[in-house]
Every structure is written in structure tokens, then in C-alpha cells.
Amino acid sequence: MKQAGFPLGILLLFWVSYVTDFSLVLLIKGGALSGTDTYQSLVNKTFGFPGYILLSVLQFLYPFIAMISYNIIAGDTLSKVFQRIPGVDPENVFIGRHFIIGLSTVTFTLPLSLYRNIAKLGKVMLLLMSTAFRVVEAAGGSSSHSQNWDLEQVLQQSVAYPYRPAFLPKTEDAWVFAKPNAIQAVGVMSFAFICHHNSFLVYSSLEEPTVAKWSRLIHMSIVISVFICIFFATCGYLTFTGFTQGDLFENYCRNDDLVTFGRFCYGVTVILTYPMECFVTREVIANVFFGGNLSSVFHIVVTVMVITVATLVSLLIDCLGIVLELNGVLCATPLIFIIPSACYLKLSEEPRTHSDKIMSYVMLPIGAAVMVFGFVMAITNPQDCTHGQEMFYCFPDNFSLTNTSESHIQQTTQLSILNISIFQ
């Protein structure tokens, strides 16, 4: 929303979700037409060995970079959770992001990733329902940061929540319809919705898999996902507008206990999502270098090597926004927009006027444009990143009422808020 502009961002979110829904169904239709059961074999049969290698690179890079981003999120969120434990020194190395990334890798993500069958993760993945707590957190958190309080409400909020900002300065272009970084926003949205790289894995795990059953599953999943995304995007952007960070939790102050609980749920969620990405990276390596089959020894070796490299990279990179953007435009966009459409157009014998073919013809050039221009803009105009730092409004002595027109009221109210906060 910050990159695209709020109104255009909502429209783009619906559009990307629709394209994702369409291409996921198209992908399985392509598999049915070609008689293949993996993304790689579909592209190999359609475009030969060069297409197979290109897809393998993309299909490896996307989940691999996603693993890096999950480590970054887990380190950022859980370190702030542990800092809220009474008596714990915030500077303690054992609650730092580096130690937490290493601990979560050894304790959770590596053991879970060693499973051979993705279906065995089903019981563990039930814990992903903790996402519901994030919905509660977002709704509750946004109500305490609104920019539209009058002066009396500002004072009341400062008394009730002395550690939370009662207001934020205005952002000049907060409510314009569109912003020039909209393509970067499409990259982030593509990253959020893509699951093409593991679609055949999930499809094959269904009981009696059919295109019709897959279509119903995808429609339901996308509808639920887009409304959850809109809810978070709206609450987050309405709360912080121009100060919105790539990782929304970085916007909240560390001494907010409700948000601390939200961070814990979020950290658990990404840790449990991590193994699904590792499954895909390992499958790509197995297909390209081992003919699709890994012995027990090589299964363990490949898993440990992939996770070790991802962990080391995530320890060196700490800005989530640029990771999401680059992964979205370079990997997610071709996997969503370009490759499924190209495969279907070559395999299908439907007339050119068929709705699936018309949509595929539209998606191809749009995907190419998003990929090229998104990459250029992500490099030349990267997002701001305040990783690990408290935002200025988390400190009472930085409060200022820039939204009021009368300087006397502004100075008086500012002093009152400061005094109340110190007193509290």
C-alpha cells in the first residue's frame, strides 16, 4: 500500500489474487494436457531442456530466498519477544536475532525439513492457525495509533497508553490514488500469493486429485487469503501511512505486550512454513542432479547444505523489504504470469478466442513488464529499512503535534503529553 498508493494498492491486490488463482488452475490444466505431474516435467515437455533449466533455477531461487526471508522475520520478531521477558537484558547475545535464527534452525526448521513426504507435516501445520491471533493484533494495534484523534483524545490515549504513540505526523502523499512504485508493490504481492512452485506437490497429496477439485480448493484458498491480506494491509497502512516498514512489526514499539504476543504467533507461523519451501528446493536439486531420487544419505546431506547456506545468508541480510521485492519481480512474476501461460498456449488446442487463451495472451506481456521494470526500480529506489531500531514515535520526548494549526495549542499539548508520559 505504501509503494503503490492505498486505492491502487487495493485494486492491485485483487488483480494479483485473480491472476494467481487463474494461473494455478492453468498450471494443473497444463499438467493434465501434457501428462506430467511436476512443474519441471511440464516445462521440459513443453519447451525442452533449456526451458527445464530456466524453470529449475527459478523454482530453486524462489523458495530458497523465501527461506532467507523467513529466517529474517523469525529473528526480528522472536528477539523482541524474548526482550519482553522480565529480568532479561535486551543486549543479551542469547536473545539476539543471530542466536535465535541459529536456534530455530537447529531446533525446528531442520528437523521438520528432513521429512520426505510433505503430507506428514499436516498435523504440525495446524499450528498455523495462530495467524488468527495476528488478525486480532492488527485490529487492536491500529486503533491506538490513529492520526485522526482530536486534542482531547490525544491526551486520553497518552494517559491510557503511555508507551504507545497517540498520533503520528501526517504524510503528505498518504492518500493519493497511485504512486510511481506500484510495480514494486506488484512484486511484493506476487511474493505473498505465489505457491506455484509447490502446487504439484500439494495437488498430488489430495485424495483422488482432479482439475475440478483443485479449482474449488484454489478458489476458496485465494478468496480467504486476499481478504486476510486486505485486512492486514488496510490496518497497517491506516495506522502508519508513510512510516510503514517492509516488516510491519518493525513499526510497533517493543514494550507493547499485545504486539509482543502477535510477534510470537507470527514467528511460530513462519518457522512452520519454512519446511514447505525447503521441500521444493530439495526436490529441484533431486530432479536436476539425481534423477528425481535421493538416497537416505543424500537426502540428509542436501537438506543440511541448503538450510545451512540459507541460514548463513539470512545472518548477513537484515532488511526484509528488498528481499521480498527482488524475489517477487525476479522469481515469483515469471512463475505466476509467464511460464504457466506460455505452457498452456503451446499445449492447448482450444481456439484463440477461448477465455483461457485470451487471458494467457494478456498475462505474458504484463508479466515481462513487471519483471523488468520491477527489478530496475527495486535496485534504483529501494525501500527504507529501520531494522532493529525503535521508531521515533516510541520515545515520549520525540512527540510532536504537527497536525494542529495553532502553535500555542501545539506546544501546550506536546508538553502535557510529555509530562503525562513521564509521570506514567
- Cβ-count burial of 249 within 10 angstroms (0-12 exposed, 13-18 middle, 19+ buried)? buried
Confidence of residue 381 (pLDDT cuts 50, 70, 90): confident
Q: Which CATH superfamily is domain 6-152+172-390 in?
A: Amino acid/polyamine transporter I (1.20.1740.10)
For residue 269, give the C-alpha cell.
507461523
Residues 6+ apart with CB under 8 A from 286: 292, 293, 294, 302
Length of the chain: 424
Report how far residue 97's alpha carbon sits from residue 90's, in angstroms, rounded to the nearest whole number.
Answer: 11
CA 69 centroid distance within chain: 8
Domain ranges of the chain: 6-152+172-390
The CA–CA distances, whole Å, from 70 to 42, 169, 314 equal 29, 31, 9
> Residue 134 pLDDT > 90, yes or no?
no
Least confident of 73-87, 115-129, 152-166, 248-262: 152-166
pLDDT (average), residues 41-60:
92
Reported as a single tens digit per residue, the pLDDT across 328-339 is 888 888 988 999
pTM confidence score = 0.73
Q: Which helix (H) or strand (E) holds 160?
A: helix 151-160
The mean pLDDT of the chain is 80
For residue 248, give the C-alpha cell.
510491519
CA 276 centroid distance within chain: 15
Closest by Cα among 178, 172, 171 to 8: 178
